[in-house]
Amino acid sequence: MSDGRIDLRSDTVTHPSPAMYRAMAEAELGDDVFGDDPTVNALQARAAELLGKEAALFVASGTMGNLVSVMAQVPRGGQVIAPAGSHHADWEAGGQAVVAGASLRTLEPGADGTLDPLAIRDAWRDASDAHFAATSLVVIENSNARRGGQPITAIYTSEVAALAHERGVPLHVDGARLFNAAVALDTTAAALARDADTVTVCLSKGLACPVGSVVAGPRDVVRRAWRARKLLGGGMRQAGIIAAAGLVALGDGPEGMIARLADDHANARRLAEALAGMPGVVGLDPATVRTNFVVFSIAASGGVAARLSRLEQRARVLETLATEGVLMVPFTDGTIRAVTHYGVEAADIERAIGACARALEACGIAPTMV
């Protein structure tokens, strides 16, 4: 990356591509609150096309996209079923409760990132019993970050959608990294979102835009989401300046960002394969690294480091890596997470591998290397 660091904390740390900078500087502008910013309108049309939906809405963030989707579809007092540890459940400051007046029922995802349909059925509540908040929306996350960026298939999504729809309830896909899932599964984002009522996709993660997400769905639902966006203060004026980067990212040509996600996946797999062979690294099967997430644990087998808690060991390793200019972050259940993205090349991954080996040795996690 430009400052010499290898920043693997998240794919949100990306900087715009040269083509994005040019497009932003040259963007044709209007007033998006009046609906006449041509670049925003073009981005929304392109997103709707790629996601196979009637309409789309440009929003400031994935958090806002998920929240306006709830506001557009869930009555006050309704309940949302979502994966435990998902962005919707744990990383959005409780907005669905604070703003939308909705409660949350979380279910533990499996190793593949999916919710057991039987568990969804068991968790379901309707309005026939006044004790319960009625289930009003089902949310799945694709790819599932809690489970290391696992991609969720269209067949599974169709099954959950059918379960929800037979009870008259919509399905929302938090597709922050839906294009990563599509590339990993060798399919399209439209295929993965086909049976969902609404879907949110982030432009500012693996697609490398500086800001923004899109929400897509039926025209009437997107219209309600548009009103909700305004209520949240998300009505932007000459937003084409930032929407222009999204048009580049979603383009078909060599400057587009979707096809190149395969490079991020290959870099993640290379990092995982190297880490899995290092003494002291546990809980990492490279075969499960299917998108751009690498999640692993560390465990010292002897010496002073073994007397530290796993959280203390993790902290030492992360601090040591940072001194070499390699940044990773603590993740769930005592793990470490590294995320590959635009701006991190294969040579950077080799540097990161070397830094990891040295950090494990320096912290007493791995035996001294000869």
Q: Which residue, chain included where needed, has tokens 């007397």?
A: 307
Secondary structure of residue 50 in the 3-state scheme: helix
Instruction: Please report, rounded to a whole number, the percentage of residues in the chain having pLDDT higher than 70.
Output: 96
CA distances from 42 to 33, 39, 49, 109, 122 (A): 15, 5, 11, 36, 43
Question: pTM higher than 0.75 for the full model?
Answer: yes
pLDDT at 370 over 60: no
Residue range 311-333: mean pLDDT, rounded? 94
Q: Per residue in 278-313, pLDDT tens?
A: 999 999 999 999 999 999 999 876 665 666 777 888
Residue range 60-72: mean pLDDT, rounded? 98
Q: Residue 342 has what pLDDT?
A: 98
Distance separating alpha carbons of residues 303 and 347, to the nearest angstrom: 33
Sign of CA dihedral 176, 180, 185, 190: positive
pLDDT at 167 over 70: yes
Torsion of CA 95, 173, 233, 32, to 10 degrees: 180
Cβ atoms 200, 215 nearer than 8 A: yes
pLDDT at 3 over 90: no
Residue range 198-222: mean pLDDT, rounded? 98
CA distances from 53 to 88, 172, 179 (A): 22, 13, 15
Distance separating alpha carbons of residues 192 and 358, to the nearest angstrom: 41
pLDDT band at 329 (very low <50, low <70, confident <90, very high): very high
Cβ atoms 32, 239 nearer than 8 A: yes
Measured CA angle at 65 (ends 338, 337), to 5 deg: 10
Q: Per residue in 353-366, pLDDT tens?
A: 999 999 999 888 87
SS (H, E, C) 152-219: CCHHHHHHHHHHHHCCCCCEEEECCCHHHHHHHCCCCHHHHHCCCCEEEEECCCCCCCCCCEEEEECH
Residues near 7 by beta carbon (within 8 Å), at least 6 away in sequence: 1, 13, 327, 343, 344
Measured CA angle at 313 (ends 8, 277), to 5 deg: 65
Cβ atoms 51, 190 nearer than 8 A: yes
CA atoms within 13 A on the CB side of 284: 28
> Which residue, 139, 133, 79, 80, is CA-closest to 109?
139
Q: Per residue in 69-93, pLDDT tens?
A: 999 999 999 999 999 999 999 999 9
**Domains located in the chain, CATH noted:** 6-10+259-362 (3.90.1150.10), 18-249 (3.40.640.10)
The secondary structure of residue 319, as a DSSP letter, is H
The total number of residues written for the chain in this structure:
370
Instruction: Please report, rounded to a whole number, the percentage of residues in the chain having pLDDT higher than 90.
Output: 91
Measured CA angle at 112 (ends 111, 118), to 5 deg: 85
Q: Residue 64 has what pLDDT?
A: 98
12-26, 126-140, 194-208, 293-307: which has the minimum mean pLDDT? Answer: 293-307
Residue range 146-175: mean pLDDT, rounded? 97
Residue range 59-76: mean pLDDT, rounded? 98
Q: Residue 301 has what pLDDT?
A: 66
Q: Residue 307 has what pLDDT?
A: 62
**Omega within 30 of 0 (cis) for the link into 143:** yes
Cβ atoms 295, 331 nearer than 8 A: yes
Measured CA angle at 225 (ends 91, 142), to 5 deg: 45
pLDDT at 14 over 70: yes
Q: Residue 2 has what pLDDT?
A: 60
pLDDT band at 333 (very low <50, low <70, confident <90, very high): confident
Q: Residue 32 has what pLDDT?
A: 96
What is the overall mean pLDDT for the chain? Answer: 95
